[in-house]
Amino acid sequence: MCPLCDYHCDYWDLKATCLQSRITYLFDNPTTVFFAVFMSFWAACFLELWKRYSAEMTHRWDLTGFDVYEEHPRPQYLARLAHVKRTKHTALKNVKFFMLNVVTGELEPMVPFWRMRLPANLMSFSVVALLVILALATVLGVVLYRMSLLGASILRQKDNKLITYNPILFTSATAACINLVFICIFNYIYQFLAEWLTEKELLRTQTEFDDSLTLKIYLLQFVNYYASIFYIAFFKGNIKSPNQWVKDFKLVDFGNMGLFPEYLEMESKSVGQRFQTGRLRKQGSVPRILGDGIKSPNQWVKDFKLVDFGNMGLFPEYLEMGKF
Whether residue 102 is found in the same domain as residue 192: no
Report yes or no on 175 lying in a domain.
yes
- Is residue 250 within a helix (H) or strand (E), and if so which, with residue range? none
Give yes or no: residues 246 and 143 share one domain.
Answer: yes
Asked if residue 288 belongs to a domain, the reply is no
pLDDT given at position 203: 85
Establish if 306 belongs to a structural domain.
no
Q: Is residue 13 part of a domain?
A: yes
Domain co-membership, 132 together with 32: no
Report the candidate in 117, 101, 99 with the shortest Cα–Cα distance to residue 109. 99
What burial letters (b/e) apply to 122-161, b meaning 16+ CB within 10 Å?
eebeebbeebbeebbebbeebbeebbebbbebbeeeeeee
Give the structural domain span for 78: 74-111
Q: Are 172 and 248 in the same domain? A: yes
CB 155 within 8 A of CB 8: yes
Q: How far apart are CA 274 and CA 282, in angstroms?
A: 13
Domain membership of residue 11 (yes or no) is yes
What is the rounded distance in angstroms from the CA atom of residue 317 to the CA atom of residue 122?
Answer: 29
Q: Is the pLDDT of residue 49 over 90?
A: yes
Where in the chain does DSSP place strands (E)? 99-100, 107-108
The answer to whether 154 touches 8, Cβ cutoff 8 Å, is: yes
> Model confidence at 52, in pLDDT bands (50, 70, 90)?
very high
Average pLDDT over residues 108-116: 73
Same domain, 159 and 170: yes
Indicate the pLDDT class of residue 290, thresholds 50, 70 and 90: very low
How far, in Å, CA of 95 to CA of 97, rounded?
A: 6
pLDDT in tens, 164-205: 556 667 777 788 788 888 888 888 888 889 889 988 888 888
| Residue 117 shares a structural domain with residue 196 | yes
User: How many residues does the structure list for the chain?
Assistant: 324
Q: In whole angstroms, how far apart are CA 1 and each of 10, 126, 167, 253?
A: 9, 52, 17, 17
**How many domains does the chain contain in total?**
3
Domain for residue 69, yes or no?
no
State whether 91 and 177 are in the same domain. Answer: no
Q: Is the residue at 34 inside a domain?
A: yes
